[in-house]
């Protein structure tokens, strides 16, 4: 259960926008407090949704032995939704990518990065964390792995912590790197951001496809075996 949830959470953590905003906040006037507020917002949103999903699926008894068909049906459905999302992203006309500089300076910018990073401050960073980490399909898929498993309360709690922790890694990892080795972190994050920025569309499509294909195969196998 934990391995499956962790793997899906890694795919949920792949967010070029989340990494871009973290990079912008780490280069603002108050990088520590602002990025920490961003992290808190991300954790709060992710934890609330994770707990609600856990309670909802557990109340539906998806974890019980007698509910094998609904459990694997849910996974299959989520898988097809993820694959459909991958197709939609691939067919959508590519937009001109936003840069960290544009996000930090263009207060009247139309993109989400521009709006959320126009005036970096702890409060706006907290709101950014809540908005950016609104649960994705991959996050829901990771949480269903925890919620549909026949696991004890401590193990389920560990699963929630694991999923949330991995999902927000695009915030806490850059923050830790910045706190330990500021100069190296700044150069490394800038290079990583450029790489992710240039291939963000392909990265998102890849993550959706991998997660979707895994869930479809897992779900259909469970339904037919």
- Name the CA dihedral angle for 23, 24, 26, 30, rounded to a multiple of 10 degrees: -170
Say if CB 146 and CB 1 are below 8 A apart: yes
Q: Where are the beta strands (DSSP E) in the chain?
A: none
Distance (Å, whole) CA 152 – CA 135? 24
Say if CB 167 and CB 15 are below 8 A apart: no
CA torsion sign for 39, 11, 132, 109 is: positive
pLDDT, mean of residues 7-32 = 90
Distance (Å, whole) CA 9 – CA 116? 24
Average pLDDT, the chain: 87
Give the residue with greater pLDDT, 186 vs 46: 46
Say if CB 15 and CB 95 are below 8 A apart: no
pLDDT at position 107 is 43
- The number of residues making up the chain comes to 225
Burial of 66 (0-12, 13-18, 19+ CB in 10 A): exposed
pLDDT at position 100 is 47
pLDDT at position 96 is 54
Domain ranges of the chain: 2-224
pLDDT tens-place string over residues 174-222: 999 888 988 787 788 778 878 877 888 898 999 999 999 999 999 999 9
Say if residue 30's pLDDT is above 80.
yes
pLDDT tens-place string over residues 199-210: 888 989 999 999
pLDDT tens-place string over residues 121-167: 999 999 999 999 998 999 999 999 999 998 899 999 999 999 999 99
Q: Tokens 């993550």 correspond to what residue? A: 207
């Amino acid at each position: 259960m934990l391995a499956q949830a962790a793997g899906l959470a890694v795919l949920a953590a792949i967010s070029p926008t989340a990494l871009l905003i973290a990079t912008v906040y780490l280069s603002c006037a108050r990088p520590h407090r602002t990025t920490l507020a961003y992290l808190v917002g991300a954790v709060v949103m992710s934890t609330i949704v994770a707990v609600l999903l856990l309670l909802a699926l557990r109340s539906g008894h998806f974890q019980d032995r007698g509910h094998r068909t609904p459990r694997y049906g849910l996974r299959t459905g989520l898988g097809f939704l993820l694959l459909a999302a991958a197709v939609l992203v691939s067919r959508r006309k590519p937009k001109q990518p936003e840069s960290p500089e544009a996000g930090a300076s263009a207060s009247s910018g139309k993109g989400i990065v521009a709006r959320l990073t126009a005036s970096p401050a702890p409060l706006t960073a907290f709101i950014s964390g809540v908005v950016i980490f609104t649960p994705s399909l991959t996050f829901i898929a990771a949480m269903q792995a925890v919620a549909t498993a026949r696991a004890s309360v401590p193990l389920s709690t560990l699963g929630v912590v694991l999923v949330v922790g991995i999902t927000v890694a695009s915030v806490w990892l850059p923050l830790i790197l910045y706190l330990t080795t500021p100069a190296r972190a700044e150069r490394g994050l800038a290079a990583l951001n450029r790489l992710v920025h240039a291939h963000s569309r392909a990265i998102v499509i890849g993550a959706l496809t991998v997660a979707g294909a895994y869930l479809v195969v897992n779900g259909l196998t469970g339904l037919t075996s």
